[in-house]
C-alpha cells in the first residue's frame, strides 16, 4: 500500500468509504459478535447472548441488525413456536475473520507492554 493509496483515507470532503465501513465495526460489540460466530459457528439468539455474557439484549439485536444490513451475518428464521432464529457468518463476514484474529493476536502479544506503558505514563 503506497503513500498515494493512503491519501484517500483522510476524507477532507467527508466521503471516505473505508472509514465509513470501518466505523461500523468500531462500535462496542460488532467485532466480538463476528469473532464468536466465527469460532462457535451458527448460533441462536439466546445462545449468542449467553456466550458473550455482558451484552444487553437490545445491543445484541441492534448489532446483529447492523451486521446483517452489511451482509456480514445471515439471519434464518424457523417459523416454529417458540421461535427459532439462527445467526451465522456469511462468506463476506468470514473473510473478515483473519483480520480480526490478527488484531486480537497483536493485542494479546502487546497487552502486557501496553499496560506497563499506561502505568508509567503521567498525563499532564
Partner DNA sequence: AAAATTACTTACTTCTACGTAACAAGCTGA
Partner DNA sequence: TCAGCTTGTTACGTAGAAGTAAGTAATTTT
Question: What span, in angstroms and rounded, lies between the C-alpha atoms of 92 and 25?
Answer: 14
Buried b / exposed e across 26-64, counting CB within 10 Å, b at 16+?
eeebbbbbbbbbbeeeebebeebbeebeebeeeebeebb
Binding-site member from 84, 92, 99, 110 for DNA (CB under 7 A)? 84
CB nearer DNA, residue 4 or residue 15: 15
Q: Which does 89 bind (CB under 5 to 8 A by kind): DNA, a copy of itself, none?
A: none
Q: Which does 76 bind (CB under 5 to 8 A by kind): DNA, a copy of itself, none?
A: none
Task: Report, in Å, the least distance between residue 26 CB and DNA.
Answer: 8
CB 30 within 8 A of CB 66: yes
Q: Does 57 bind DNA (CB under 7 A)?
A: yes
Residue span binding DNA (CB under 7 A) among the ranges 7-15, 32-40, 79-87, 109-117 = 79-87
CB of 82 to a copy of itself, least distance (A): 19
Measured CA to CA, the distance from residue 26 to residue 20 in angstroms comes to 10
Amino acid at each position: 500500500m503506497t503513500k498515494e493509496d493512503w491519501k484517500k483515507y483522510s476524507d477532507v470532503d467527508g466521503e471516505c468509504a473505508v472509514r465509513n465501513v470501518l466505523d461500523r465495526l468500531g462500535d462496542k460489540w460488532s467485532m466480538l459478535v463476528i469473532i464468536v460466530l466465527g469460532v462457535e459457528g451458527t448460533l441462536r439468539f439466546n445462545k449468542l447472548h449467553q456466550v458473550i455474557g455482558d451484552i444487553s439484549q437490545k445491543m445484541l439485536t441492534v448489532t446483529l441488525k447492523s451486521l446483517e444490513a452489511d451482509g456480514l451475518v445471515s439471519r434464518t428464521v424457523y417459523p416454529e413456536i417458540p421461535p427459532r432464529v439462527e445467526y451465522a457468518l456469511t462468506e463476506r463476514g468470514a473473510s473478515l475473520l483473519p483480520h480480526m484474529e490478527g488484531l486480537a493476536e497483536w493485542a494479546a502479544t502487546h497487552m502486557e507492554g501496553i499496560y506497563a506503558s499506561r502505568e508509567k505514563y503521567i498525563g499532564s
